[in-house]
Amino acid sequence: MKSGKTEMIIGCVLVGIIALLAVGSLFGTPYDINAMDNTARMQAPSAAHLFGTDNYGRDIFSRAIVGARFTLIVAVSTVIGSTLISIVLGLISGYAGGIVDEVIMRVIDAVNSFPGILIALIIVTVMEHGSYTIIVALIIMFIPSFTRIVRTGTLQYKNADFVRSNRGFGDSDIRLLLVHILPNVFPLLLSSIVVGLSNAILAESSMSYLGLGIQPPTPSWGRMLYEAQSYILSAPWMALAPGFMIVAAIIGLNCIGEGIRRKYLN
């Protein structure tokens, strides 16, 4: 347990299965995700329909794995986007110090004082309701915490002996930052990146539930749950399938994050 190995294994298995299903959905799904079948409405899970069917007779398993694909696309692009921006901001802020640092950090603090969902709501309100508006919203939501981590790491390393000596050898600031400081700072960010993925999935599915995330007809876990809510008593599988896929994805990512954290702490 100390080394975080158990967490790592559980996490990798859960995330692996979901990622495989999501990638697999690219090559085809058991049923057409939008095919309505009046003769097969709200059927309980069976061999023919693994997770059952919804109120239009659509196959929930097919919809759920396509939903997994879009959720993962949103989560991964969000985390890549916010990591890149945060690395730039954090390195500059930590390395330059002084007034530059103060300005960046005050702005970051101010953004941070909005609860994440409020930021997402603002962006969704002011941007056109495109499919990828949600990615922009989530990127902005994650920048503050990532930037803080990069800044702290930069502060820690900018006057380390190996950085000083390379500075003495005439390395430029940019080279020092990218070649010497960043590779040391990145591991600090790694577990936050993984946890960031799980937060992105949480935020995306919440926004999709509210009708402000991934737009229909593209299936998404959050929207599937919204649609399932009215049928929860007669067809609980409609809600349970996407719901537990969200939970599994988040648990998996949190486990991996915890595993990485323990590995680097010990």
Partner 1 sequence: MHYLAKKTLILFLTLLLVSLFTFVAFHIIPGDPARLILGTQATDEKLEMLRHQLGTDRPLSDQYLSWIGGFLKGDFGTSIRYSMPVKNLIGERLPVTLLLGLISLALILLISIPIGIFSARVKDTFLEQVISFFTMAGISTPGFFLSILFIWIFGLILRIFTPGQYVSYQTDLSGFLQFMFFPALAIAVPQIATLVKYIRASMLDELGRDYVRTAKGKGASLTSILYSHVFRNAVVSVIPLFGMIIGSIFSGSIIVEQVFGVPGIGRLLISSVTGRDFPLTQALVMYVATIIVITNFLVDILIQVIDPRIRLS
Choice from 73, 76, 107, 190 touching partner 1 (CB under 8 A): 107
Choice from 210, 218, 262, 263 touching partner 1 (CB under 8 A): 210
123 binds partner 1 (CB under 8 A): yes
Q: Specify the stretch interacting with partner 1 by CB under 8 A; choose among 16-24, 51-59, 64-72, 106-114.
A: 106-114
205 binds partner 1 (CB under 8 A): yes
Beta-bridge mates of residue 59:
53
Q: Specify the stretch interacting with partner 1 by CB under 8 A; choose among 20-28, 85-93, 126-134, 143-151.
A: 126-134
41 close to 56: Cβ distance less than 8 angstroms: yes
DSSP 163: H
In this structure, what token pair is assigned to residue 200?
């992105």
141 close to 155: Cβ distance less than 8 angstroms: no
Task: State which amino acid sits at residue 38.
Answer: N
192 binds partner 1 (CB under 8 A): no
Report the nearest approach of partner 1 to the CB of residue 235 (Å): 11
Task: State which amino acid sits at residue 93.
Answer: S
> Which of 11, 4, 10, 2 has the alpha carbon at shortest distance from 195?
11
Q: Specify the stretch interacting with partner 1 by CB under 8 A; choose among 50-58, 65-73, 116-124, 164-172.
A: 116-124
DSSP 47: S
Choice from 3, 125, 131, 165 touching partner 1 (CB under 8 A): 125
222 binds partner 1 (CB under 8 A): yes
Helix (H) or strand (E) holding 37: none
CB proximity list for 250: less than 8 A, separation 6 or greater: 198, 201, 202
> Which of 213, 226, 189 has the alpha carbon at shortest distance from 75?
213
246 binds partner 1 (CB under 8 A): yes
45 binds partner 1 (CB under 8 A): no
13 binds partner 1 (CB under 8 A): no
> Pattern 143-182, binding to partner 1, x per CB under 8 A?
----------------------------------------
Beta-bridge mates of residue 54:
none
8 binds partner 1 (CB under 8 A): no
239 binds partner 1 (CB under 8 A): yes
In total, the chain counts a number of residues equal to: 266
217 close to 34: Cβ distance less than 8 angstroms: yes
Question: Rounded to whole angstroms, how far apart are CA atoms 136 and 138?
Answer: 6
135 binds partner 1 (CB under 8 A): no
Report the nearest approach of partner 1 to the CB of residue 173 (Å): 28
Helix (H, G, I), strand (E, B) or coil at 218: coil
Report the nearest approach of partner 1 to the CB of residue 60 (Å): 15
241 close to 60: Cβ distance less than 8 angstroms: yes
Q: Which residues bind partner 1 (CB under 8 A)?
A: 106-107, 109-111, 113-118, 121-128, 198, 202, 205-206, 209-212, 222, 225, 228-229, 232-233, 236, 239, 243, 246-247, 250-251, 254-255
